[in-house]
Amino acid sequence: MAFEFTDTNFQETALDQGGLSVVDFWAEWCGPCRLVGPIVEELAQEYDGKALIGKVNVDNHPEVSMKYNIRSIPTILFIKDGEVVDKHVGTATKQALTEKIDSYLS
């Protein structure tokens, strides 16, 4: 299951831990988010122990969303060692996300 990032745990889990974090910004009412959601869940299982993959509900956790200037959802941030190294806005295929994750893990 994908990790649930929140306003209170984001700094500690996504930024301070080091390594790669993949963060999906989404909302319940967002149709494209519902398309990406299952892919994020699969990736979280497949990369368990290699990368922290999770989600931020923008309605429930607005502080993180504002900090990273999230204007459109779904938006996926790739954070390596505390720094945003890539950003994908809109829907994405599993293959496209896998390729990006693999490139940041190598």
Per-domain residue ranges of the chain: 3-89
User: For domain 3-89, which architecture applies?
Assistant: 3-Layer(aba) Sandwich (3.40)
**pLDDT 10s digits, 18-51:** 999 999 999 999 999 999 999 999 999 999 999 9
Query: Cα–Cα–Cα angle for 39, 43, 46, nearest 5°?
Result: 140
**pLDDT 10s digits, 82-104:** 999 999 999 999 999 999 999 99
99 catalytic per annotation: no
**pLDDT 10s digits, 48-75:** 999 999 999 999 999 999 999 999 999 9
80 catalytic per annotation: no
Catalytic position from the list 33, 43, 44, 79: 33
Catalytic position from the list 15, 27, 30, 89: 30
Return the C-alpha torsion angle 51, 85, 18, 39, nearest 10.
-20
Confidence band for 1, pLDDT divided at 50, 70 and 90 = confident
